[in-house]
Amino acid sequence: MATIIEQQPLYSTLPVGQDVMFSVSNNLIVSNQIKVKFIAEVHISSSLPPNTAVATDVIGTFKTTPNNAGVGMFNFRPIIESYVKADNLSARGSVYKGFAVSTYPLHIIDKFSLNNNIIKYLTIQFRVQYLDQDPTSSTNNELIQVQAENSDSYKIFNGYLKYNDVLDIGTNVTANNFGYNISSFDMIGAGTDFLTNAPTTQYANVDDYGVLPILASQGNTPSGDFRGIKFIYYNSSGVQIGSADQIDRTVANGAYFKHNAMIENEVLYIGAFPGNLRNWHSQFKILVNAGNTPAYYTVEGLWNNGSLVGVSNTYTINVNCPTLKGYEPIRLAWLNQWGAWDYYTFTMKSSRMLSTKGSTYNQLEGTWNEETYRIDGFKGGKKAFRVNATEKITMNTDFVNESESVWFEELINSPEVYMLKGYENIVETTSALNQYIIPVRLTTSSYTRKTVANDKLMQYTFEVEKSKTLRTQSV
């Protein structure tokens, strides 16, 4: 009797922040042999789907004994979740202000970037092991492995599930399987979303950078494929400015024309915020420099099914003018539920506080290692040997709606948070590109979800601490 995979994830694309359950059986061996173990050989690939016939992409081999029902039960979540992570740097082929730079922050790309780390291929090969008890066999008293069975090929990405996210249960032959259906993010059907829970209406300053992530895991033919992104610009009266811009999914734009089974093309990032547009879009830059900045613009994914049609929900980016409020704008980027990036610019009152901590020593007064003793006024008493300063920033949102109130919960729960510097009208060298992103730690430890019914007008206050200390000279 062959080894049977009794249970596996219901969908082929799955976040690693959920239980990744498999159960396997082999009734004949379990019933008739001793020291039986089920073996799982885990293959993870950063390029093409794994070939289980070779061991080049094996990340580990794991064993379990049959449970009381005679099956081997595996949960691969603790194993595979360390093999995907956030993309912080741009991928090969992307550009910044029209120039190809080897490595630079993902958030400031011109048009498209492939992914480096957020998604991988997964395949598991199962075997059964037992102790041979046949005295006539040449392998008597040796451990025997038999009955290899391959799982389906899966795509795992750096997302997690909340406890209230709905899991689907299979039917008929898949009745034992369950999983979360992420088809609402896949750019293949009408009304799909970018890979984010952010509201479809967002606000950004004219200097703000940021990317919108998409899941592009559909077919591999030019016809019937995610084609690109469309931008349309509007003035304050809602009148369109100029013609729509279509940014095709091409190599020249930092992507590929079509899906090609390479995992780096499964998740794409689009430089969709005003700072990104100023990098490369001459007309947008001219409008900004002339004081005619669009009041807002829309972003929509395009699908090629013989003719170009809009496939995603339309995202509206309202362009703020920070000088109208007079406060220092502070833009945060954080890792969202789906392993990509969300952004918010705090445009209301903010404050910065420095706290210092250092070591001291007592310095002798005068000169003790010279021919004569001399009293120097700058010497003597307690002196600072080294001073380390930590900067904390308190910032306030503008008035927000209830959808934004829910969305901010991902900020306070995020393991990665950064401050982003805005656009500057210069071309930096590679060595200067580290200035755009500043790691911070959110020190706000609690969050109360507000509602219109309870709170009327809703605002939030957050505090962050720069992760790197400000170090001064040592004496």
- Kindly report, residue by residue over 98-127, the tens digit of the pLDDT: 888 767 899 999 999 999 999 999 999 999
| Same domain, yes or no: 175 and 246 | no
Q: Is the dihedral of CA 53, 56, 59, 63 positive or negative?
A: positive
Q: Are strands 296-304 and 315-320 parallel, antiparallel or unpaired?
A: antiparallel
Q: Are residues 23 and 59 in the same domain?
A: yes
105 within domain boundaries = no
What is the arrangement of strands in the sheet containing 21-25, beginning at the earlier edge strand?
4-7, 21-25, 71-75
- 413 and 274, same structural domain? yes
**pLDDT value of residue 223:** 44
What are the beta bridge partners of residue 229? 247, 301
Task: Give the per-residue pLDDT at 271.
Answer: 95
In a domain, 130, yes or no: yes
pLDDT mean across residues, the chain: 86
Verify that 138 and 264 share a domain, yes or no: no
Reply yes or no on whether the pLDDT at 74 is more than 50.
yes
Q: What pTM was estimated for this model as a whole?
A: 0.89
Mean pLDDT of 269-273: 95
Task: Decide if pLDDT at 222 tops 70.
Answer: no
Residue 188 falls inside a structural domain: no
- Which structural domain range is residue 256 located in? 201-352+389-471
Task: Confirm whether 381 is domain-assigned.
Answer: no
Q: Are residues 157 and 220 in the same domain?
A: no
The verdict on residue 360 lying in a domain is no
At residue 154, does pLDDT exceed 90?
Answer: yes
**Number of domain units in the chain:** 2
Considering only residues 233 and 426, tell me which one the structure prediction assigns the higher pLDDT: 233
Q: Which residues have CB under 8 Å from 346's CB, separation 6+?
A: 329, 330, 331, 332, 395, 396, 397, 462
Indicate whether 133 belongs to any domain: yes
Give the per-residue pLDDT at 216: 82
Same domain, 167 and 206: no
- Does 29 reside within a domain? yes
Distance in angstroms (rounded) separating the CA atoms of residues 147 and 131: 14
| Same domain for 149 and 252 | no
Residue 219: pLDDT above 50?
no
Measured in degrees and rounded to the nearest 5, phi and psi for residue 4 equal -120, 130
Rounded to an integer, the average pLDDT of 439-453 is 87
The enclosing domain of 77 has a CATH number of: 2.60.40
SS3 of 213, please? Answer: strand
Q: Which two tokens stand for residue 206?
A: 């004219």
Residue 180's identity, in one-letter code, is Y
Q: Is the pLDDT of residue 142 over 50?
A: yes
pLDDT value, residue 322: 58
- The string of pLDDT tens digits covering residues 347-392 is 888 888 888 777 778 888 878 788 888 888 777 778 777 778 888 9
Q: What is 187-207 written as a DSSP string?
A: TTSTTB--SS-S-SEEEEETT
Question: In sequence order, what DSSP letters do the residues of 319-356 get, joined into one string?
Answer: EE-GGGT-SPPEEEEEE-TTSSEEEEEE-S-EEEEEEE
Q: Which of helix, strand or coil describes residue 135?
A: coil
The pLDDT-based confidence of 221 (bands split at 50, 70, 90) is very low
Residue 316 has a pLDDT of: 95
Name the band, by pLDDT with cuts 50, 70 and 90, for residue 83. Answer: very high
For residues 58 and 176, state if they share a domain: yes
Q: Do the domain assignments include residue 113?
A: no
Summarize pLDDT for 391-424 with one digit per residue, the tens: 899 999 988 888 899 999 999 999 999 999 998 8
pLDDT tens digits, one per residue of 299-322: 998 877 555 677 788 999 999 865
> Is residue 326's pLDDT more than 70?
yes
Residue 468 has a pLDDT of 83
The answer on 212 and 155 residing in a single domain is no
Instruction: Inform me whether the pLDDT recorded for 137 exceeds 80.
Output: no
Tell me: pLDDT of 47 over 60. yes
Count other Cβ atoms within 10 Å, centred on residue 89. Answer: 16
pLDDT, tens digit (0-9, with 9 covering 90-100), for 194-215? 999 999 999 999 999 999 999 8
165/272 same-domain check: no
- Regarding whether 335 and 231 lie in a shared domain, the answer is yes
Q: Which of 181, 209, 230 is the last residue of a domain?
A: 181
* Same domain as 430, residue 336: yes
